[in-house]
Structure 1
Amino acid sequence: MASQQVRCTVSSCYYYAPGNNCAAETIMVRANPATMGHTDFETGEMGGQARQSNQTLCETFIPQEKGPKPGINRIKD
């Protein structure tokens, strides 16, 4: 089975992989979660990186120290 190939520069995310790759098996991207009432997103690292999912527009985002999200595994190398 071929893996998905999604590029991502959010290095504070649990699913971030070297080379700006996303290693999540499943990805949820919303048009604008900040306006859709999704206020319970995870909080990530401070300082120049995404701190909340609504800053990334990716509901799959979770901080490295909190991952993985239930039901979303990392793609194995």
Structure 2
Amino acid sequence: MREHALFATPRPATPVRPTAPAYDPDYWGPAGVEPTVEELMADPMTALVMRRDRIGPAEVMDAVHKARRALAEAAAR
């Protein structure tokens, strides 16, 4: 007899995350080529997520430009 979901084993209070070493090329594999921001913004899936989140391309690009400026300023120090 199948256990009813209501009486299933309770989940742990905190999520259980898989453990992995901080850096292990055999585990993580080599880095690939990442898409540019422009490519991401042109992706239909990105457009759907932004629509769901009620945010426009101008707001995303504004955040990207602010982050780039902050990184450049931090690197200059």
Settle same-fold status: TM greater than 0.5. no
- Indicate the structure with greater helix content: 2
Task: Give the TM-score normalised by structure 1.
Answer: 0.21
Q: Tell me which structure has the larger Cα radius of gyration.
A: 2
- Indicate the structure with greater strand content: 1
Instruction: Name which structure has the greater RCO, CA cutoff 8 Å, separation 6+.
Output: 1
Task: Give the TM-score normalised by structure 2.
Answer: 0.21
